[in-house]
Every structure is written in structure tokens, then in C-alpha cells.
Amino acid sequence: DAGITQSPRHKVTETGTPVTLRCHQTENHRYMYWYRQDPGHGLRLIHYSYGVKDTDKGEVSDGYSVSRSKTEDFLLTLESATSSQTSVYFCAISESLSRGGVNEKLFFGSGTQLSVL
């Protein structure tokens, strides 16, 4: 298994509160991603990072911010949680290819179940 740890595994919070989810990897991979999984929607990309302090928006980035101050950590923050952000959040990593570019195969963490009441 790829060395990816997500914390917390479960969280219940109230609408309007800030929430930070953490993804930690021990693989030293350059690329990191945050996805959310919802019934009827599959997995949708929130934000991704292609290096320390280099991040970009994904398909469903509204209401979320990210930070990557170290290679191994990628944080996802909900500044003011809403009920629509109740979801399962997955972190994923992928490695660089020796010829340049990124290996398309992603490795996923075990997920964080977030409930916003």
C-alpha cells in the first residue's frame, strides 16, 4: 500500500465552522490531489498540487482552499463548512515520470468521512 495517511478519518462539525483535513504521504511523490465522493457523482477533483506551494483548482473548488508547505503534507480547508460539503474526501498521490510528466496512476488514501450538520 502507498504510504498515504488521512486525518481525521471521521469528523462531524456544524455549519459555518472551519475544518481542515490533512493528507500525509511518505512516498515523496510530487503530485497530490483532493477528491470528494458523493452518491450519483463519483469522484470529483477539488484541488491538486504539483509541488511545494504549487496548487491549482479542480472541478469543484468553490468553498475549499489548500496548502502545501512540505512535499509530504497537503491540507484541505473548508473556511466555513456547509451541509453541501458533507462527503467522503479522498487524498491521492502520483509520481513524476523519468521522462517528464506525471504518472497517471493515482494512489488513494482511506478517506475522511465529513458530516456538516
Chain residues binding other proteins by CB under 8 A are 4, 31, 33, 35, 40-45, 48, 50, 56, 58, 90, 92, 94, 101-102, 104-111
**Shortest approach of other proteins to residue 59 CB, angstroms?**
8
Rank residues 42 and 98 by Cβ distance to other proteins and give the closer one. 42
Rank residues 32 and 81 by Cβ distance to other proteins and give the closer one. 32
**Shortest approach of other proteins to residue 108 CB, angstroms?**
3
SS (H, E, C) 21-80: EEEEECCCCCEEEEEEEECCCEEEEEEEEEECCEEEECCCCCCEEEEEEECCEEEEEECC
Rank residues 5 and 13 by Cβ distance to other proteins and give the closer one. 5
**Shortest approach of other proteins to residue 80 CB, angstroms?**
26
**Shortest approach of other proteins to residue 103 CB, angstroms?**
9
Q: Convert 51-73 to b/e letters by CB count within 10 Å (16 or more is b).
A: eeeebeebebbeebebebeeebe
CA atoms within 13 A on the CB side of 88: 12
Rank residues 34 and 81 by Cβ distance to other proteins and give the closer one. 34
